[in-house]
Amino acid sequence: MATLRAEAPAILLLLALAAAPFVGFGEGYMLTLLARAMILAMAAVSLSLLVGGAGLVSMGHAAMLGFGAYAVVILDDARVTEIAVVLPVAIAAAAGFALVTGAVAIRTSGVHFIMITLAFGQMAFFTASSLAGYGGDDGYTLYSRTEIGGARLLEDRLAFHFVCVGALAGTWLLCRLLLASRFGRVLRAAKGNPLRAQALGFDPYPYRLVAYVIAGAIGGASGFLFANATEFVAPAYFSWQRSGELLFMVILGGVAGLHGALIGALGFVLLEEWLSHQWEHWRIVFGVLLILAVLFLPNGLAGIPGQIAKAARR
Amino acid sequence: MTTQLLLIQALNGLQLGILLFLIAAGLTLVFGVMDFINLAHGVQYMIGAYLAAWIAGATGSFWLALLLALPLALALGLLLEFLVFRHLYDRDHLQQVLATFGVILVLNQGVKALFGAAPLQVPMPEALTGGIRLMEGLLYPTYRIAIIAGGLATAGLLWWLVERTKVGMLVRAGATNAPMVAALGVDIRRLFMIVFGFGAMLAGFAGVLAAPILSVEPGMGDHLLILAFVVIVIGGIGSIRGAFVAALLVGLVETLGRSLVPDLMRLFLSASEARQVGAAIASMLVYIAMAAILAFRPAGLFPVRAG
């Protein structure tokens, strides 16, 4: 029962997202916004697996989305739009990039890991900007969304909404199970005290690398969805600023549990959208809110109930 | 490519390196001594440039702007330290990153609200317009030479401060092992404040120097911030000497790469492809250099931190 209570925030949030179209959030604009929030939440959850689970603070996670999205672009240009081909290629491309760069990056730790992942992310970004055949800096507009068995199911907004809800729920469940497994326990042990984990006979390197590749694969899948949501892909979507944003979502929500990333990503995207309609210079308010959140919510948004409970007990 | 052109590019690279050093020096000290990741260091540079644009616009004098912008940049840096940063020293890196990102948003948007989104121009000081003939067929702008000279002089002053004064000794000790310095009875908070204010002023100084040759606009510090982080990681966190060497290296690689790589590519590719691929590779060079250095010397070229 205790475990179920710990997972309640994430499950409730996912149920709310599934119900959203039927309780007044069904019009096009709202569904588009929610789709973007859920796709970024998916990437944020996979990043949280790295940050919270393995202690690997990646500043190049947007590159994984980039690989997924550019796989869609390159196949679209070749008129291949069947999901059975596109999705596996998108995931494999991102996972492959994660494997190659992770093999080097995971040798470092701390700030150096942040900087080396930033470096690899920038290399991917500049490579994408040099792809003249796919629009270069200006980006590429897809001919059509990916098809499922030849049918254009993803064109339907409601269907796409549920694909996103399903993908996000699947991501959360997968990462949650991974963290609870023996594999996840080794990861967390190595994060807490690498020396002790090594003394127990666990070399953290392969565990971290596998986690990095899994997070990359999920990033690739969310890049696939991102390309389909916007039907337009440009290198600017995958710049270091985007990597930073994903990291900020994870920190804002709280790194203690995966549901922090869910809450952080949805809160970040929705607050940004709402504020931007209120005032031309909304970023001032947004920035101040972020500063206040750090100063007064040390455990992130997900830590608020705990803080209230603690204050009530006093 | 002629010798003259190569020389001009090398001087431009040197000048970018000098600006990078002025920004990275404060960043590496704040990081090294206080173990504090300050993403908002790039906006301090922007603030310096805006202060210069504002004062020069009001008074018409660049020198007055230089004179007034420095204490104002210092004051703003100390104000930020008092309001936000000092509450974050005990937090972990992730929280520092998020809060200082908030500061970036506020200040970038703040200058946009005050001065508008359009780039501002700052006139060059009268005495430094024109160029100097360095050799046959090579006329180099006097102002850029002044930047290089001023930057080198500042670097010298900084070296003297850090290596030869008592405060400098405490700063170096703090970069090696801050808790030990505190345990020896030094008021580490005050040391932090001095380092922070000084770093903010240096970044502001870089902004004032850059204002007449670059367009002053919101977000102008963001790109340089990333390069400055590359510099301090290559140089070794906390090392002024490392920051100096790495800043010149990054400045030269970035500038020379942009002009040389597309030319090199033209040997293998068509002209338009060479331009596109060359530009991408040139932009990557700095990051490739950093990844390579980190892979072989994880603590940077001049490691400082104990243990």
Q: For B192-206, what is each residue's pLDDT tens digit?
A: 888 889 999 999 999
Rounded CA separation A209/A197 (Å): 16
ipTM of the modeled complex: 0.83
Rounded CA separation B279/B201 (Å): 34
For residue A49, give the DSSP letter. I
A260-264, A298-302, B213-217, B270-274: which range is least confident on average?
A: B270-274
Q: Does B280 touch chain A (CB under 8 A)?
A: yes
| pLDDT tens digits, one per residue of B119-169 | 888 888 878 887 787 777 778 888 888 999 999 999 999 889 888 898 888
List phi, psi (to 5°) of B135. Answer: -160, -175
Nearest-by-Cβ selection for A291 from B37, B102, B273: B102
List phi, psi (to 5°) of B187. Answer: -75, 95
In this structure, is residue A14 part of a structural domain?
yes
Place of tokens 């006139």: B123
In this structure, is residue A268 part of a structural domain?
no
Residue of B nearest to A289 (CA): B102
CA–chain centroid gap for B177, Å, is 25
In this structure, is residue A19 part of a structural domain?
yes
Place of tokens 């972990």: B92
In this structure, is residue A96 part of a structural domain?
yes
Residues of A in contact with B98 (CB under 8 A): 248, 251-252, 290, 293-294
Nearest-by-Cβ selection for B102 from A240, A282, A287: A287
Reported confidence tier of residue B179, pLDDT bands at 50, 70, 90: confident
Nearest-by-Cβ selection for B99 from A104, A116, A290: A290
Percentages of chain A per state (helix, strand, coil), in multiples of 5: 80, 5, 20
pLDDT at A1: 46
Which is nearest to A106 in space by CA: B95, B97, B73, B295? B295
CB atoms A284 and B283 under 8 Å: no
> How many Cα atoms within 13 Å fall on the side-chain side of residue B9?
16
Q: Does B84 touch chain A (CB under 8 A)?
A: yes
DSSP string, A67-114: HHHHHHHHHHHTT--BHHHHHHHHHHHHHHHHHHHHHHHTTS-HHHHH
Nearest-by-Cβ selection for B295 from A104, A248, A255: A104
| pLDDT tens digits, one per residue of A65-120 | 999 999 999 999 888 888 889 999 999 999 999 999 999 899 888 888 888 898 89
Rounded CA separation A50/A201 (Å): 22
Q: Does B287 touch chain A (CB under 8 A)?
A: yes
pLDDT at A3: 64
Instruction: State what percent of residues in chain B have pLDDT above 70.
Output: 99
Instruction: State what percent of residues in chain A have pLDDT above 70.
Output: 99
CB atoms A104 and B105 under 8 Å: no
Q: Please report the number of interchain residue pairs, chain A to chain B, with beta-carbon separation below 8 angstroms.
A: 126
CB atoms A290 and B105 under 8 Å: yes
Q: Which domain holds residue A127?
A: 10-239
| pLDDT tens digits, one per residue of A21-40 | 888 787 888 898 999 999 99
Residue B15 has pLDDT above 70, yes or no: yes
Rounded CA separation A299/A308 (Å): 12
Rounded CA separation B75/A48 (Å): 38
In this structure, is residue A295 part of a structural domain?
no
H-run or E-run covering A220: helix A204-230
Number of domains in chain A: 1
Mutation to test the A interface, candidates B95, B227, B296, most A Cβ within 10 Å? B95
Residue of B nearest to A272 (CA): B105
In this structure, is residue A205 part of a structural domain?
yes
**Residue B101 C-alpha, separation from nearest chain A C-alpha, in angstroms:** 7
Helix residue ranges per DSSP H, A231-303: 240-253, 258-276, 282-296
Nearest-by-Cβ selection for B94 from A57, A282, A290: A57
Residue of A nearest to B93 (CA): A111
Residue of A nearest to B298 (CA): A108
In this structure, is residue A255 part of a structural domain?
no
The domain limits of chain B are 14-219
In this structure, is residue A310 part of a structural domain?
no
User: Would you say the C-alpha torsion A265, A266, A267, A269 has a positive or negative sign?
Assistant: positive
Nearest-by-Cβ selection for A284 from B110, B281, B294: B110
Which is nearest to A41 in space by CA: A272, A302, A254, A266? A266
Residue B294 has pLDDT above 50, yes or no: yes
Mutation to test the B interface, candidates A283, A285, A288, A299, most B Cβ within 10 Å? A283
Place of tokens 């966190």: B237
Residues of A in contact with B99 (CB under 8 A): 290-291, 294-295
Rounded CA separation A254/A261 (Å): 7
Instruction: Tell me if residue A4 falls in helix, strand or coil.
Output: helix
Residue B306 has pLDDT above 70, yes or no: no
pLDDT mean values, one per 10 residues, chain A (314 residues): 71 89 83 93 95 90 95 90 91 96 88 87 88 84 83 83 94 93 92 87 92 96 94 87 90 87 92 88 88 87 85 82
**Residue B277 C-alpha, separation from nearest chain A C-alpha, in angstroms:** 6
